[in-house]
Structure 1
Amino acid sequence: MASSTPASSRAVRWLLWLAGTVSLALGLLGVVLPGLPTTPFVLLAAACYAKASPRLHGWLLQHRYLGPMVRDWETHRSLTRRTKTIAIASMVVMVGLSAWGFRERPWLLGGLLVAGLIGAVVVTRIPTRAPR
């Protein structure tokens, strides 16, 4: 009789891989979509990949643009004030530009502003550390 552990382990790995992939996609969308934060989604993807796929976790760690952020998080479990300032300033600029474009559509404008506020709150809640 076969044990249920390998099947459940496989299912858990698959779900973690799926969650990591969706998180990475959202993080990459956050680069261009106002109000959608990149950093928390990329870090969540790294955490999921660390459990589900060592190959994808290694790829993320070695990525030219995303790797330093992931390595820094895994080492310190916090972000520098500079990183947080850049993230929030980028969101403010993109939300501001998009808000101007949606000024004639109050529902979309409201949704955009709420999403931007949520993104800023998420980034500010990440622990801050002093620069080295």
Structure 2
Amino acid sequence: MVRTLCWRFLAICFVTLGMIGVVVPGLPTVPFLLVAAWAGTRGWPALEQWLLEHPRYGEPILQWRQNGAVSRRAKCAASTMMLISIMIISFSNAYIAVKIVVPLMLCVTLLWLWNRPEPVKEGSDSHKA
């Protein structure tokens, strides 16, 4: 019972962060909903099902689960926000270590992100030459 409540609490926290991401520019939505759906599988199947059937966010969650796929639009948005973050850090009064380590971590994250497959459009024939 306590374990289920912990999973539900985690799911609610990440759904809340995802909803904040809907209205706050630069804050992602889908990554938070991915974690919420993951937590839902462990303690709140109805919430997980609701997220998977959501008209806007269900498809990206399913694409991630099935293929580890991230849309090009999401990749571009993430890249833009990371670039803006790097610029802000560069011009800030942050410690030199922060100015070096954070951009390096973001660059590694971008490399990983751009190496993720993109969702296959239904009805498209990717085998044509």
Bucket of the pairwise TM-score, normalised by the shorter protein: 0.5 to 0.7
More helix by share: 1
Q: CA deviation at 1:86?
A: 3.7
1:31 maps to 22
2:2 maps to 11
- TM value normalised by structure 2: 0.62
Contact 2:10 2:39 in 1 (8 A): yes
Aligned equivalents of 1:14, 1:79: Cα separation in 2: 30
Higher-RCO chain (CA-CA 8 Å, sequence separation at least 6): 1
Matched position secondary structure for 1:128: coil
- TM value normalised by structure 1: 0.61
Matched position secondary structure for 1:36: coil
- What residue identity is the alignment partner of 1:73? W
> Structure 1 regions of 5+ residues with no counterpart?
1-9, 100-105, 108-116
Question: Is 1:81 aligned to residue 79 of structure 2?
Answer: no
Contact 1:88 1:123 in 2 (8 A): no
Contact 1:37 1:123 in 2 (8 A): no
Q: Deviations over 1:24-76 (max 9, x none)?
A: 11011112223422221111001001111111111111111111111111111
Question: Is 1:59 aligned to residue 47 of structure 2?
Answer: no
Aligned equivalents of 2:119, 2:47: Cα separation in 1: 29
Deviates more, 1:68-77 or 1:41-50: 68-77
Contact 1:84 1:123 in 2 (8 A): no
Contact 1:31 1:38 in 2 (8 A): yes
> Structure 2 regions of 5+ residues with no counterpart?
94-101, 121-129
